[in-house]
Amino acid sequence: MSGRVLILGGTAEARALAAELQGAGIAVVSSLAGRVARPRLPVGEVRIGGFGGTEGLATWLREHAVAAVVDATHPFAQRISASAATAAAATGTPLLRLERPGWTAGSGDHWTWVDDLDEAARAVNAAAARRVLVTSGRQGLAAFAALDAWCLIRCVDPPDAPLPRAHQVVLDRGPYTLAGERALLREHEVDLLVTKDSGGDHTAPKLQAAREAGIEVVVVRRPPRPVTSTVADVARAAAWAVAQVSG
């Protein structure tokens, strides 16, 4: 086998894929954006930080004998996915998107879908919520700075100002349990939840807890992605990557 696979990572799926390919004897480099202070590291070689834009990524692909790229970034990491699509096309490098399925509302859910965090803040005001759990990450919280509602902000690293006038920050990372999410909503008397459509099981228990409590959920839709081949599970991504390297 020749060449290596670049995994644009930072997700549980990316870490699982790196382990799968390492086990198959494939040379793997996992790239992390470096936005989390203490990231969970995958097995194998890891690089942290940006490539210097699309041209920088294209140069890196050429200089490091990359046989294939798997974009396994977070569903909201829009910029790096766009760069990957352009750089892969410019260098003739095969590209696959590994993306977990989004969430779907079920019976008993009270969801309001919005396109971005600014619209999410307007939805919070429209709902006249008093106590809001915000789980949209530490970036973009300025959209909620003018809210009158009290906000419980949960994120991995400390967020930057501006923040809601009345708030509390909880530093934590998933996976979360249903019992823990029930207790969090109850303890803080949350009457509305704001989340992004991240998908997956690690952070889904909050949705079930909200359903059980009759709490409204404001869900931010995923941003548009470049059109590329996409799979939803690690096994299919691993098989594709092995085929690119060995073919």
> pLDDT tens digits, residue range 198-233?
998 889 999 999 999 999 999 999 999 899 999 999
Number of domains in the chain: 2
Burial class (CB in 10 A: 0-12, 13-18, 19+), 213: middle
One-letter identity of residue 107: S
Is it the case that residue 53 has pLDDT exceeding 80? yes
Q: How confident is the model at residue 193 (pLDDT cuts 50, 70, 90)?
A: very high
| Matching residue, tokens 């009759």 | 214
> Residue 136 and residue 138: Cα distance in Å, rounded?
7
Q: Are residues 96 and 159 in the same domain?
A: no
Secondary structure element (H or E) that encloses residue 217, with its range: strand 216-220
Has residue 174 been placed in a domain?
yes
For residues 99-125, average pLDDT: 97
Q: Are residues 64 and 149 in the same domain?
A: no
Q: Are residues 174 and 159 in the same domain?
A: yes
pLDDT tens-digit readout, 131-172: 999 999 999 999 999 999 999 999 999 999 999 999 999 999
Q: Are residues 166 and 68 in the same domain?
A: no
Q: Are residues 230 and 212 in the same domain?
A: no
Q: Using an 8 Å Cβ cutoff, are 5 and 67 in contact? A: yes
> Residue 210 and residue 152: Cα distance in Å, rounded?
15
Helix (H, G, I), strand (E, B) or coil at 128: coil
Q: Are residues 55 and 72 in the same domain?
A: yes
CATH code where residue 154 lies: 3.40.50.720
Has residue 186 been placed in a domain?
yes
For residues 162-185, average pLDDT: 96
Which residue segment(s) compose the domain that 23 sits in?
Answer: 4-101+224-246
Q: Are residues 69 and 153 in the same domain?
A: no
Q: Are residues 74 and 136 in the same domain?
A: no
pLDDT tens-digit readout, 5-31: 999 999 999 999 999 999 999 999 999
| Predicted local confidence at residue 247, as pLDDT | 74
Has residue 166 been placed in a domain?
yes
**Nearest partner of 145 among 157, 129, 158, 161, judged by Cα:** 161
pTM: predicted TM-score of the whole model, two decimal places? 0.92
Q: Are residues 122 and 82 in the same domain?
A: no
Q: How confident is the model at residue 36 (pLDDT cuts 50, 70, 90)?
A: confident
177 secondary structure, DSSP code: -
Sheet with 66-71, edge to edge strand ranges: 45-48, 27-32, 4-8, 66-71, 95-98, 230-231
**Nearest partner of 93 among 3, 28, 225, 30, judged by Cα:** 3
Q: Are residues 140 and 215 in the same domain?
A: yes
Has residue 48 been placed in a domain?
yes
> Residue 195 and residue 58: Cα distance in Å, rounded?
33
| Predicted local confidence at residue 1, as pLDDT | 45
Q: Using an 8 Å Cβ cutoff, are 2 and 245 in contact? A: yes
For residues 36-65, average pLDDT: 92
Q: Are residues 159 and 210 in the same domain?
A: yes
Has residue 106 been placed in a domain?
no
Q: Are residues 97 and 155 in the same domain?
A: no
Has residue 66 been placed in a domain?
yes
